[in-house]
Structure 1
Amino acid sequence: MILLPDRRLKIVFNKLTKRISERQTLSLRKLSTTRKEEIQFGRFVGNKRVSVDFLEQELYRQIDSHGSSEHCLLIEDTSQIGFSLERSIKDLGKVDKGQIKGFYIHPVLAIDAVNHACYGIASVEFISRPWPQEELTHNQKSLARSKAPFEEKESYRWLDSIKKAIPRCSNIISKTVIADREADIYPLLTGLTDELQVDYIIRSRIDRGTESGTTISGQVKEWSEASCYQIKVPATDKRSAHTAKMVVKYGKVSLRKTESKSIRKVPGYYSTYVVEVKELPESIVNNEEPIQWLLLTSHNINDPEKALQIIDWYKQRWNVEQVFRTLKSKGLRINTSQLGDYEKLKKMTVLALMSAVKVMQLIKAREGQTGQPMSASFNENEQQCMILLNRQLEGNTEKLKNPYPQHTLAFAAWVIARLAGWSGYQSQRPAGPIDFLIGLQRFDERVQGFILAKEYT
């Protein structure tokens, strides 16, 4: 266990993390009640004796509070934290092909596979890409990458992050890694099952060759349709709102080893199940691209219901995108931080992830299915204030009553969403991460008044 070298630093750490959780901001000025506190918080983040490793260890402790579980999803992804080239920030690398500077974060989010409760962050990697002294050509870069083994590439983070996450989820029996197309790497697939002995669901990026002499897509074309279903697709920048008719196929293929190198010996062929879900032509609107996923999975698929389960688990990948949204410009705004060097920004990012987990726990609890207690995210004063506020926020009709039991996190999520402006009607769009950030900020103001009232009565 990594400890702070000074008890006074622990006191400041507890105060700072509590303020971020309550006020849902990373501005040291807004987190402080006095100028003295603002200086104190700034010195804490800049103190070299306060390591990123210590803060990460505190972040991972959130998972320990959830007890044992049968099965969880380890959802991993990478996102960039970018800053303008005009900003003077020490030791930042390049992001977005050098158009801006910054760094990348690669967290592993643990979600219960059954009730979708958010456990917390099980691992986080920071990546800073150096500014090259001499710019290589595209061919030179490709040649260098092809010669390097998987374990020496930046892409090794997809395996290494899970390797670090597993011990932090020791009270969880089964684990399934969920990742997008960037993780479609042959040594990663074999490493997850053979080396780490965990399952995976990874979206296919490469139409790989198979032992049968064809490709994945070639084999999928030969499979019969297993089931059909409909989904309501919301409008996005690239897609119109409509009801999509989806068809599902599934089967097993034997992948042929690619030319990519690995220090660890990998088999020449590797068997994996494949699930294809594709939109039927009759539901496509405005000549848009059809919705299509080709998912690789180590789970045995023996019937259509299991294939649909794989699709549902993969859809949970959206949760890590919600974490990124909470961290960035519309949420905690880590990318607008005024801190002056990379090390301080890493520390503040870990602190922000602690707060983002609280938001995710509320999002997952809002439907009343996670069974988590309110105490998982709120202290005793906050719980008391929550119950009192609920009386003010409830309406006269049953539809405007809080439908969840007191002292549950679902009960708290309903109150926080109402504070953010949600109407209370279940037919309305549910509160999202930014709504909960706003609600938590407004809740903190009321809690402070509640505590003062208790002191003077």
Structure 2
Amino acid sequence: MHAALVARPGSCIRQLAQRNRAREIQFTRFLRNDAVTAEEIAGCAGERTAGRARGRDVVVAQDTSELSLGGQRAKANGYGPVGKGGALRGLLLHAALAIDAGNGGVIGLIDAKVWNRTGGKAKHRRSRTTKQKESQRWLDSTRRAAEVLTEAATITVVSDRESDIYAHFAFRPSRAHLIVRACQNRRIETGEEEQQIDLLFSHIDSLPEAGRLKVNVPAAPGRKARSSELAVRFSPVALCKPLHGAADLPEAVTLTMVDVRETSTAEGGKPIHWRLLTTHPVTNLVEARRIVDLYRMRWVIEEYFHTQKTGGFDIEAADISDPEVMIRFATAVAVAAVSVMQLVKA
């Protein structure tokens, strides 16, 4: 099936089988076999990636994407809500890709989890621990990266604002560094003798510029390519433990904040402003530039999701009524999409 998906990307089983009835039955039986699990499909891909990552400096980009599969019909088939409002139904995919930090090449898939939301409305977030929330996926993929990439030279896991979770920093594996775009204006400890409390964003905004960087901003939907200048600030910070749902967490976590913002308003779009929390030490402008460059590799996972959707497989057009079968198929596509990206980039 993997070879068929790579040779002829698509979401129709009949077309993948090239209208060969025997092959179509073979693919269908494979996907409907309860002995086949999405975990095993993703796990095999991770094992292959481990060998290719040996000796490399690896960036692991992780993110979540919604697979919208319809409305009332999808609901009747047992698909859970996705998107805002609950009118759309489908699955969610969380993936982690290994990327060569030196050349930006896609090494392989580290982890892929596809799930269907069931069980009704959840309790208020403050009454649940991280393990009881969907946000546990960020911690799980970081841990999986450390388990898979045992022979990599270095591991840096990068992720966007949704992964700004205190437990993500507190429980990270010792071999894996993090770069996370900050979302929450957390309390931080300031001062050595007196435990004074400040807010993260106001603290970094009050610092003088450490220097400026020249960057090329690529084109994106609704945005032209441009050259720009970024003002850089950085500082070590000690994040305070959250006030709610954090009984098992340390009182503080020490990180570094790297703040970069465009010095002029971008034409046809918002100016760049990234607040990046990292476990890497940053003591000068060169090291700050390295954090920015590593974070920018996160864009590869956006290309990856595009490949699975309108850019290649059109996974959301799959007409599979059984959510469990669709989970296996979506996982197989998640693996094949990496191979397609590698072929395109090659």
Per the normalisation by structure 1, the TM-score is 0.69
Equivalent residue in structure 2 for 1:209, among 187, 190, 193: 187
Per-residue deviation at 1:90? 3.2
Partner Cα separation in structure 2 for residue 115 and residue 160 of structure 1: 26
Q: Aligned residues, how many?
A: 337
SS of the residue corresponding to residue 211 of structure 1 reads strand
Inter-CA distance 257–54: structure 2 relative to 1 (3 Å threshold): closer
**Higher relative contact order, structure no. (Cα contacts within 8 Å, ≥ 6 residues apart):** 2
The answer to whether residue 17 in structure 2 is matched with residue 36 in structure 1 is no
The answer to whether residue 263 in structure 2 is matched with residue 275 in structure 1 is no
The answer to whether residue 155 in structure 2 is matched with residue 170 in structure 1 is no
> Who wins on radius of gyration, i.e. which is larger?
1
Deviations 1:261-297 (A, max 9, x none): 246x32222211011110113x5436x5321000000
Corresponding residue for residue 130 of structure 2 = 150
Cα RMSD (Å) = 2.2
Within a 5 Å distance, the mapping from 1:209-288 to structure 2 comes to 209-212=187-190, 213-239=197-223, 241-262=225-246, 265-281=248-264, 283-285=265-267, 288=269
CA contact (8 A) 2:11 2:317 kept: no
Per-residue deviation at 1:210? 1.3
Give the residue type in structure 2 aligned to 1:55. Answer: I
Corresponding residue for residue 382 of structure 1 = none
Give the residue type in structure 2 aligned to 1:127. Answer: W
Give the residue type in structure 2 aligned to 1:315. Answer: R
Partner Cα separation in structure 2 for residue 50 and residue 270 of structure 1: 41
SS of the residue corresponding to residue 73 of structure 2 reads coil
Corresponding residue for residue 182 of structure 1 = 162
Partner Cα separation in structure 1 for residue 206 and residue 251 of structure 2: 24
Inter-CA distance 234–115: structure 2 relative to 1 (3 Å threshold): closer
Give the residue type in structure 2 aligned to 1:42. Answer: T
Deviations 1:31-78 (A, max 9, x none): 224222222222221122323233223322331441512421121111
CA contact (8 A) 2:50 2:150 kept: no
Partner Cα separation in structure 1 for residue 338 and residue 219 of structure 2: 27
CA contact (8 A) 2:69 2:317 kept: yes
The answer to whether residue 96 in structure 2 is matched with residue 108 in structure 1 is yes
Q: Percent identity?
A: 28
Inter-CA distance 74–284: structure 2 relative to 1 (3 Å threshold): closer
SS of the residue corresponding to residue 29 of structure 2 reads helix
Partner Cα separation in structure 2 for residue 48 and residue 215 of structure 1: 51
Give the residue type in structure 2 aligned to 1:92. Answer: Y
Per-residue deviation at 1:214? 1.9
SS of the residue corresponding to residue 224 of structure 1 reads coil
Partner Cα separation in structure 2 for residue 111 and residue 316 of structure 1: 8
Per-residue deviation at 1:260? 3.5
The answer to whether residue 66 in structure 2 is matched with residue 83 in structure 1 is no
The answer to whether residue 176 in structure 2 is matched with residue 198 in structure 1 is yes
Partner Cα separation in structure 1 for residue 303 and residue 220 of structure 2: 16
CA contact (8 A) 1:125 1:161 kept: no
Q: Tell me which moved more, 302-311 or 212-221.
A: 212-221
Structure 1: segments with no counterpart, 5+ residues: 1-15, 367-412, 414-457
Partner Cα separation in structure 1 for residue 250 and residue 150 of structure 2: 28
Corresponding residue for residue 109 of structure 2 = 121
Corresponding residue for residue 94 of structure 1 = 81
Structure 2: segments with no counterpart, 5+ residues: 191-196
Per-residue deviation at 1:104? 0.7
CA contact (8 A) 2:307 2:337 kept: yes
Per the normalisation by structure 2, the TM-score is 0.90
CA contact (8 A) 1:26 1:334 kept: yes
CA contact (8 A) 1:118 1:357 kept: yes
By percentage of residues, which structure has more strand?
2
CA contact (8 A) 2:43 2:111 kept: no
Partner Cα separation in structure 2 for residue 290 and residue 155 of structure 1: 28
Partner Cα separation in structure 1 for residue 159 and residue 256 of structure 2: 16
Inter-CA distance 284–116: structure 2 relative to 1 (3 Å threshold): closer
Q: Tell me which moved more, 252-261 or 335-344.
A: 252-261
Equivalent residue in structure 2 for 1:318, among 290, 299, 320: 299
Inter-CA distance 238–208: structure 2 relative to 1 (3 Å threshold): farther
SS of the residue corresponding to residue 198 of structure 2 reads coil
Give the residue type in structure 2 aligned to 1:267. Answer: P
Q: Tell me which moved more, 169-178 or 54-63.
A: 54-63
Corresponding residue for residue 3 of structure 2 = 18
Give the residue type in structure 1 aligned to 2:117. Answer: R
By percentage of residues, which structure has more helix?
1
Partner Cα separation in structure 2 for residue 154 and residue 279 of structure 1: 33
Within a 5 Å distance, the mapping from 1:44-59 to structure 2 comes to 44-59=30-45
CA contact (8 A) 1:62 1:119 kept: no
Corresponding residue for residue 394 of structure 1 = none
